[in-house]
Structure 1
């Protein structure tokens, strides 16, 4: 039977965690799914620990990323997207835990309304996971569309990794940008959300992310060079896409002009404005804003300090 949902799980040297993640997928109350496990070239015993599960449950497929896709999370996920058979797509990580009603509740939301995605809450944990799930189906919700892109880009309305189910149609024209090593989800989600009608956000935790030192987010917080460069590249791509769609407003632009102060070594400010077909005078205006921002921010911090 054709699977309703395709779960795509990229993995790389996570043999110590992946079986627990797989078991949380097997525990799903909705059963008609396929799970594509894409190995990004790991060197540990992942294949060995997965072997009994693959024999027992043919809904799982274990594949090595081919050389047609760039090494890394984006390339592995793109490989999975090209193989997906389900009408809905969801990404799970190889070290996290899914709520047993994750797939069921998302599908119920899709059945109620004409939406392109279902966003839900993602909680984090460290160490051993406590299996004490809230199995109620009482929660509030709100809708999200392209008008919310300001909040999404500022991470005021977060689209966390693995906390969204999408219709397959969302990825018909969109793929992950494979050279990105950080913010690759943020960049592709921006493109998708500004291209579809609307989605829903439900206030219920359906996914649990494991925090440990090997995570990509940890690299960014530790100022990893590749992650910082990737974020600058992602910002540039997002700005270009919004401008093309005539969705780039002053608020978004001002926000990223300020962000670009921290990315001078990546020439982010000039890259942004070389992308925009602004008049000479308009570029001069934004250059003046950029040059004066450090002084304005300095005096603003002093002001905030004194009024506390």
Structure 2
């Protein structure tokens, strides 16, 4: 008999995404990796997003939905981590969607290489059109990195998202997202890397990231410069330890 695969908790913060949330949820319920817990945190949506989430709870027993007053994506993700029961943790944004093989492929890499974190590349979709593949680019099928290697890469490649990563729960530990409105993932990923001994990066786009949705915050040059400065400061801390 095959070893039972561990439960993966996928945390989805939801806010006013009625035009996109169904595509996102369909990409999760149809994953080839079936042992999933899909946690939806409705962060005070004022459109039909919350109702769509509740409908999906009735369709699939793996889905749980929690409603809260609007507090921002950091607070929503923290709520998801608080209730997550899985041994492994993933994050998906509600206006994006996943390749149907995403979590199976990432789990396989995590198991084969005994990794603490697995990352993948992603497709960027700009106003409905594919604008290219983003993330760490290299010649091999995958790279195996120590946390210091990954920290240096992180600074150079600007690979800051949480949604292209599968993490062991003990890596996330009690680290909370800062409850700020923007860039909350940037301040968190470095702490995860510090807790990890081995990181695997898959040279394959398994996530579809949508940008320029009405109301989205796009990165401007000042934001990128700010993040690079902070990333370099974090790298110094890695090197000291």
TM-score above 0.5? yes
Q: Give the conservation status (yes or no) of the 8 Å contact 1:119–1:159.
A: no
Q: 2-side partners of 1:77 and 1:234: how far apart?
A: 24
Q: Which structure would you say has the larger RCO, counting Cα contacts within 8 Å and 6 or more residues apart?
A: 2
SS in 2 for 1:51: helix
Note the aligned Cα RMSD (angstroms). 3.0
SS at match of 2:167: strand
State whether residues 119 and 165 of structure 1, in contact with CA within 8 Å, keep that contact through their aligned partners in structure 2: yes
Q: Which residue of 2 aligns with 1:42?
A: 45
Q: Call closer, same or farther: CA 1:29–1:12 in 2, change over 3 Å.
A: same
Q: Deviations over 1:172-229 (max 9, x none)?
A: 13121223x33321221111112320110011111101122436441x4287xxxx5x
Taking a change above 3 Å as real, the CA distance of residues 14 and 236 of structure 1, as seen in their structure-2 partners, is same
Alignment correspondent of 1:110: 110
Runs of 4+ in 1 over 4 A off after TM superposition: 127-130, 230-238
Specify the alignment match of 2:133 in structure 1: none
Structure 2: 5+ residue runs without aligned partners? 131-139
CA pair 157-45 structure 1, distance change in 2 beyond 3 A: closer
Q: CA deviation at 1:232?
A: 5.1
Question: What does 1:269-288 align with in structure 2 at a 5 Å threshold?
Answer: none
Higher Cα Rg, which structure: 1
Task: Report 1:15-26 matches (<5 A).
Answer: 15-26=18-29
**Residues in 2 aligned to 1:157 and 1:109: alpha-carbon distance in whole angstroms:** 22
**Cα deviation digits, residues 244-286 of structure 1 (max 9, x gap):** x56259xxxxxxxxxxxxxxxxxxxxxxxxxxxxxxxxxxxxx
Distance in 1 between residues matched to 2:18 and 2:171, nearest whole Å: 31
Distance 2:25 2:144 in 1: 31
Q: How many residues align?
A: 228
Structure with greater helix percent: 1
Q: SS at the partner of 1:152?
A: helix
2:67 is aligned with 1:64: yes
